[in-house]
Amino acid sequence: MNPANAARFGQRSMGGVVQDILLRTAKLMSEGLTEFAELAPTDEVPSNGIAVPAGMTSNGISIQFPCDGLVVGIRATTRDGTPVSQNSTLLRVQKDGDTELFPSASGGGPGFMAFGQISGNAQFLARLVTRQRFQQATFWNIFVQNGQPQIATTVAVASNGQASPGVGNILNVASTFGFPTSGFLQVAGIVGLISYTGTTATSFTGTLGGVGVFATGASVVSTVGNIVADVTFDIIRTTNLRTG
């Protein structure tokens, strides 16, 4: 034993030295366990079925974790999984309800990341790898933005006051430019979707469904571009792990 160690042993009890050794060993083991757990997290906190119309952003969705721990990965996918929807759908995450996980380029403001960058396309990783502490007592918020363009028009005077789906199964509108030749419509003031099988320059034909009465100027929006998103946080519990 060198003189320095001998002096230390002389000043401290053997029990104190053993305690130091055990604490240092535990710290090294916990760091190794944490790194291993990050590679294969065993818990997840999902927020599934987030419906967002084209051109819209969802309201804030609160996430509460079941424990204290670390977020080690984020997965974000649209149900259709197409490159168009994955790359035009964006995720915003607020840690603890006030700190932006993806701050804007100007710094500090709201920032979004495309699903395709997180986990959506073949050229990207299956999840966004991160390391973010959380506490069970605090909430995180997520927002999903659908960047696909909205296809919209308005109800024309000719259909004003008519009950859905319209007299002769026709809905008269300002214009059908940009709409598919068949599909589904969301009309302001009408409960449920309206399907249609054809178009003219200023009407949808073969309309079915919907409950309510049309009003001049009410918005008529195609469901094309609407998405349903799933966002999942991969986590590890740190109750029994020292993480620094």
CATH code for position 141: 2.60.120
List Cβ neighbours of 1 (8 Å cut-off, separation of 6 or more): 9
C-beta separation of 70 from 240 below 8 A: no
pLDDT band at 41 (very low <50, low <70, confident <90, very high): low
- The mean pLDDT value for 50-59 works out to 93
Distance of CA 205 to the CA centre of its chain: 36
Residues 104 and 138 in one domain: yes
Distance CA 93, CA 232 (A): 12
* pLDDT reported for residue 244: 40
Residues 22 and 62 in one domain: no
CA angle 128, 133, 137 (to 5 degrees): 125
* pLDDT reported for residue 239: 61
Residues 158 and 185 in one domain: yes
CA angle 134, 139, 141 (to 5 degrees): 105
* Domain region containing 82: 42-148+226-237
Distance CA 31, CA 238 (A): 11
Higher pLDDT, residue 169 or 12:
169
* pLDDT reported for residue 91: 94
The answer on pLDDT for 133 being more than 70 is yes
The answer on pLDDT for 121 being more than 90 is no
Higher pLDDT, residue 173 or 98:
173
* pLDDT reported for residue 188: 96
- The mean pLDDT value for 88-109 works out to 81
The answer on pLDDT for 67 being more than 70 is yes
C-beta separation of 157 from 216 below 8 A: yes
Residues 113 and 233 in one domain: yes
Q: Residue 18 falls within a domain, yes or no? A: yes
H or E, element range at 169:
none
Higher pLDDT, residue 35 or 17:
17
- What is the three-class DSSP state of 219? strand
Residues 69 and 143 in one domain: yes
Residues 120 and 231 in one domain: yes
Instruction: Determine the residue type at 119.
Output: S
Its pTM stands at 0.71
> In sequence order, what DSSP letters do the residues of 64-87 get, joined into one string?
E-SSSEEEEEEEEEESS--HHHHH
- Comparing 59-68, 111-120, 226-235, the range with the smallest average pLDDT is 111-120
* pLDDT reported for residue 181: 96
pLDDT band at 97 (very low <50, low <70, confident <90, very high): confident
* pLDDT reported for residue 27: 53
The answer on pLDDT for 70 being more than 80 is yes
Instruction: Determine the residue type at 50.
Output: I
| Percent share of the chain, pLDDT over 70 | 75
* pLDDT reported for residue 173: 97
* pLDDT reported for residue 18: 59
C-alpha distances in Å from residue 148, one per residue of 55, 65, 74, 163: 6, 31, 22, 30
C-alpha distances in Å from residue 76, one per residue of 91, 104, 160, 202, 206: 8, 19, 42, 39, 37
C-beta separation of 118 from 124 below 8 A: yes
The answer on pLDDT for 122 being more than 90 is no
C-beta separation of 154 from 220 below 8 A: yes
* pLDDT reported for residue 108: 57
- The mean pLDDT value for 86-101 works out to 89
H or E, element range at 174:
none
For all residues of the chain together, what is the average pLDDT? 83
Residues 114 and 192 in one domain: no
Number of domains in the chain: 3
* pLDDT reported for residue 165: 96
- The mean pLDDT value for 72-76 works out to 90
* pLDDT reported for residue 3: 56
